[in-house]
Amino acid sequence: MTVVLGEETATPLVKNYVFYVDVFSYCNLRCPSCPVGNKTGHTDHLPRGLMSPALLGEILDKALSECVVSVIGLYNWTEPLLHPEIAALIRTVKDRGIPCVVSSNLNALRNPEELLASGLDALRISLSGFTQPVYVIGHRGGNIEIVKANMHRLAAAKAATGAATSINVFYHRYRYNECEIKPMSALSHKLGFGFESTLAYVMPVEKIIAMAQGQQSPEDRELLSNLVVPLDRALAVTSRTNKTSCSLLEDIITIDVAGNAMLCCGSSMERGNVIGSFLNLPLDEIQRRRRERTLCASCLQLGIPDYFAGAIE
């Protein structure tokens, strides 16, 4: 959509949003730092299956009629490369002139040439180690040797297709895996990929609040002991910011595999976080309903949006 400018003020009349859309209802890993792995919320009711390119196209067309879509991420709490039509989904985004990004654990990679030839702007590879015993602590259920083999396949596909896709390795730093940053960074650069490391943090919002209130399972305690910056110390800092609004709410729209607008990309897939059908509700109404959610008050009190934004770095 073209940005509409006011004639006199040149102020944008429509707002920009980033969209995160889960196109598949499943992830093949069970990372303890993620609601998929730490089983936050009652998720039995969750919509299952695949988002079709047709539904994605309808969602995008409605979004473009209501706002400026600055970028579409085809992921949130699931693994997008498991979708057999991921290339068609990316083309659905690109046909509308919208930048498209994907984040993946890269344990599955069907057709790297087709993926990169789709016009994908950026692919993020999320991982947390170079050797299997280290990697599997943070990426439970994954296999780093498969990931590394798929990184080589991606580099070859990029060379073969001449695709302009920016490929970046995103290394989650824990106390136990700093020693493996160097070899993974070297491999990434050798393959022509970008490399970035960031402190690992706990997700989702509900899990952080529960942990802060002392509700911690043995598995939670193990996760907490692996964090570089202890969660209580991080929240002691972020809770001082006294934020009253949240960019995850005001600037980002999150949509599940069935096309429901969700509370935000940082809260769980719990039924209570479903706002309603994105196609059936005007965007203003979706935003009004989101701002009424009580979870936000507890979240803002702890400064969790700043925690997600990397304030502890």
Q: Residue numbers of the site for ligand SF4 (CB under 6 A)?
A: 27, 29-31, 34, 36-37, 77-79, 105, 205, 246, 248-249, 263-264, 266-267, 295-296, 299-300, 304-305
- Paired strand residues for 17: 69
CB of 252 to ligand SF4, least distance (A): 8
CB of 305 to ligand SF4, least distance (A): 5
Distance, CA of 17 to CA of 224 (rounded, Å): 33
Q: What is the arrangement of strands in the sheet containing 68-73, beginning at the earlier edge strand?
A: 194-199, 166-173, 122-127, 100-104, 68-73, 16-21, 252-255, 260-262, 274-277
Is the torsion defined by CA of 84, 146, 107, 183 positive or negative?
negative
Question: Phi-psi category of 3—alpha, beta or left, where left has phi over 0 and alpha has psi -120 to 50?
Answer: beta
**Residue (165 or 267) nearer to ligand SF4, CB:** 267
CB of 140 to ligand SF4, least distance (A): 8
Find out whether 174 and 200 touch, Cβ atoms under 8 Å.
yes
- CA dihedral of residues 299, 240, 291, 16 (deg, nearest 10): -110
**Residue (180 or 306) nearer to ligand SF4, CB:** 306
**Residue (163 or 261) nearer to ligand SF4, CB:** 261
CB neighbours of 91 closer than 8 A, spacing ≥ 6?
Answer: 53, 118, 119
CB of 28 to ligand SF4, least distance (A): 7
CB of 286 to ligand SF4, least distance (A): 12
**Residue (255 or 264) nearer to ligand SF4, CB:** 264
CB of 164 to ligand SF4, least distance (A): 25
Distance, CA of 112 to CA of 119 (rounded, Å): 12
**Residue (105 or 177) nearer to ligand SF4, CB:** 105
CB of 244 to ligand SF4, least distance (A): 10
Distance, CA of 204 to CA of 28 (rounded, Å): 18
**Residue (163 or 300) nearer to ligand SF4, CB:** 300
**Residue (34 or 151) nearer to ligand SF4, CB:** 34
In one-letter notation, the amino acid at residue 274 is V
Q: Which two tokens stand for residue 301?
A: 């009190």
